Structure formats: C-alpha cells, structure tokens
Amino acid sequence: MRIVLIVPEYTIGMQRKVEYLCAEGCEVRQVVSMRTHSILTAPASDRRFANHALVPVRVLRRQDPHRSMLASTLHWMRAFSPDVLAVEWDPDTLMALQALIVRRMWAPRAKLVLHSWQNIPRALSRRVRFILSRTLRAADCILCANREGVSVLRGWGYRGRIVHQPWIGVDTALFYPRERAALRDKLRLRGFLVGYVGRLVPEKGLDQLILALAQLPEDVHCVLVGGGNERDRLKGLAATRGLTSRVHFVGEIDHDSMPEYLSMFDTLVLPSRTTAVWKEQFGRVLIEGMACRVPIVGSDSGAIPEVIGSAGLTFREGDINNLAERLHALYRSPELCGELAQRGLEQATTTYSQAHIGARLARVYRGLAFVQPDEECCMDASSPGNQP
C-alpha cells in the first residue's frame, strides 16, 4: 500500500509513528517542510528505512496553520500512484483545499484522509465555509482527535466516515520513568511537587492552580515549566498569596529534557479552562506524563477526561476547591499515587504509544484503500467500539 503523508512540523519523536507505519508494510512518501527535513535528516537523528522517503518542500505562511500552503504541485504523485493521501491538517485550512486539488490532478483514485482537532462549533467566515464545502465533500475519511470533534464535523454537514483516533502519540523510546533525585537536588526542590509543563497563558488555568496550592500543606510546591505572557502575572499572584517560596518558575526547556522534569513530579496537572473560542483538544503532555509514570490530574475541559480515562483524576474546570481536593487526595495517599501512575504507564505504552498509533493508522488506511473496511478502525467514531 502506497501512502503520501502531508504533515506539519514534525519532531524526531513524532516521526516514530511513520517508522511504525512502514513496519506495517506501507510505502510512505512524507511531504515535510524544509525545516522539518533538516531536523529529521540530522546525523544524530537520521532513521532511514527502505520503504520511506522524505520529500522536502517550501511551506508558505508556515506560522499560520489555517493559511499555510505548499510551494509545490507534488507532480511526482502521478508516477508514485498512491492508494491514500493523508493530510494532517484540519478540513477548514488552505492546506486541505490544496490537497484535494493535488489529488484531482495527479492521483484521482487515492483515498483522501483529513484530520481534525476542532471541538468548538465556532462561527465561520465566508472563506472558511467555501473551503469546508469543498474539503468535506472530497474527504473519504476524517480522523478526529477527540469525541466532541465528531459532533462539530457532523454539524458542518460531513456525512462521510469518521475515525476517532489521535494521530500523535508518545515516543516511549524517549518518555519513560527517570531517576528523580538528581534533578530535584540540582533545582533545590523538596516536598510534594505538583508540576505543569506547557505555555503560561490564560486558558491553561494556572492562576487556579496557584490558588489551589494555598489550600494545601506547606510542603506542597508547584513547579511551572514553560514560558508565556502570564509569567509575570502568575508571579505576582503567588506573591500576594504568600506563596513565592512554593511556586517555582523553571522557564522553557528543550524537548529531550522533558522526561527528566516530568519524572521528578509527584503529580502532573493540566488545569485548562474553556474560552469562547478554545478548549483543550487533546493535551499531549498528559500522555507524556503517563509514560514517565506520573499520576495525572486534569480539568474537565474538552478532551482531557477522555485522554486521562481511569489513569488519573479530573476536577470541574474553574473549581479551585475541587482541584485542591484532588491534589490533597494524592498528597495523603502514596498508594493512590502509585496505582494511578501504573495505570497511566500502561495506558501510555499501549493506547497512546507511537507503535500502537502507527499500527492502527495502517489498518485505517488499508480499510480505505482496499474497500474492505475493518469494522474496528472504520466504523463511525460515535460507536463505543471505536475508542483509541
């Protein structure tokens, strides 16, 4: 089976999914930006396999995912004759529109697979409605990263096949439990550590995390890893609550260092809150924390509860008391921490591992390409049997 995979910016860890696709017998031509190509072909990072080739192209307006386009017609697709054209962009983007035009020109028999993160039925401009009217009519299947996104796609009028399947997993070759004492000593951190990794922005609800910390014992500390425009405000909030010595701002770290930081936490929290235009669409840090055997706490914003499942605790978004209760339950029960950490590790290494996702995507693509749908991977996403 031949696949053309058009992807956004990829890291080495995300690339492992493509390796597993190839291990399933798929021949893949992967269209990537010049920047991604330089990362994936660096001497220390290069992983070559016979049935895979990177195709670097220039991406126009790379910083705007809704308006990005390839500076290429991908004319080589005619000779490659793919069975599947998989585009890891949402259907309301110019990239998705370009993909269906490219398919019409060079590979009209290929099945078109789009991907969607959208989980809020927001108002659409005339331009976006025009794009959707074309892409949704052309798509043979849409992979949806969260359950609420299924309703959004149906509300937009899509009546085709939807598969509830996140296409980005966790690289278990990088994310696994690490020794915690050394980094704690280096950062001079003690006590029960409540960690957060990500952007310091309002929608992540970090002010609520700091306010919840004020209700917890003195030896509970909060460690915020990442950067963003909320940093100064959060520092001020911690100061006004007398928590300066218990709230630690680490700043941004490189991706390869994340497992060490995650492993030193006693719990990882994602306290996201819904806004008028956004709610949590997946929360990749959750599965990375699980893979490092860290118990997880998350709000019930968007897709967080479905990602956590039974491998962690959830709280009502915006409810500071409820968040404090969840954290205190973990603080006073090492047994609960151990139980949730183990469940999370098992969930990360099976359901969300790149190996699992690569194998599952191969089944989806085969079911489309050979018109003999596998019931598990190609049924409508609203069915309970189609969980990731």
Q: Is the pLDDT of residue 268 over 70?
A: yes
Q: Is the CB of residue 212 less than 8 Å from the CB of residue 186?
A: no
Level-2 CATH architecture, domain 181-350: 3-Layer(aba) Sandwich (3.40)
> Model confidence over 201-229: pLDDT tens digits?
999 999 999 999 999 999 999 999 999 99
Residue 16's pLDDT is 86
Q: Is residue 304 within 8 Å of residue 238, measured between CB atoms?
A: no
d(CA 81, CA 96): 19
DSSP 253-304: --GGGHHHHHHH-SEEEE-----SS---S--HHHHHHHHTT--EEEESSTTH
Same topology, domains 2-169+353-382 and 181-350? Answer is yes
Q: Assign 387 a pLDDT band (cuts: 50, 70, 90).
A: very low
On whether the pTM is more than 0.85, the answer is yes
Give me the pLDDT at residue 107, please.
98
Residue positions counted in the chain? 388
Q: Tell me the average pLDDT of the chain.
A: 91
Query: What is the pLDDT, as a whole number, of residue 376?
Result: 39
Domains in the chain: boundaries? 2-169+353-382, 181-350
As a CATH number, domain 2-169+353-382 is 3.40.50.2000
